[in-house]
Amino acid sequence: MSKITFLIIYILCIWIISAVLTVYDKSAAKNKGRRISERCLLLFAAVGGAGIMLAVMKTVRHKTQKPKFMITLPLLFAAHIILICLCIKNQYLNF
């Protein structure tokens, strides 16, 4: 498996898990169910899910009033984009 294939599969898996966790936490908040910890949500954001998590949170209006998320998620997403661009520039990822 090539590096780029692995990266795409990894990102897709992290995005799916991050989106599901975010929607589940929103549902649990509305129904007073067991919630996903902020630490867990931020962990998935840090390992690659920040972009999709930010989009889902804004779409379902979840945690949009919390600066911890509305500042951290865009910064993490920008860091992920920069990291991928640096990897491509330095030929760690070949297309």
Res 9: pLDDT: 95
Res 87: pLDDT: 85
Matching residue, tokens 């129904």: 31
**SS3 label, residue 33:** coil
Distance from C-alpha of 14 to C-alpha of 7, rounded to nearest angstrom:
10
Query: Mean pLDDT for each 10-residue chunk of the chain (95 residues)?
Result: 88 97 95 94 97 95 90 96 88 72
Q: What is the pTM of this model?
A: 0.87
Res 4: pLDDT: 83
Res 89: pLDDT: 84
Res 95: pLDDT: 63
Distance from C-alpha of 82 to C-alpha of 88, rounded to nearest angstrom:
10
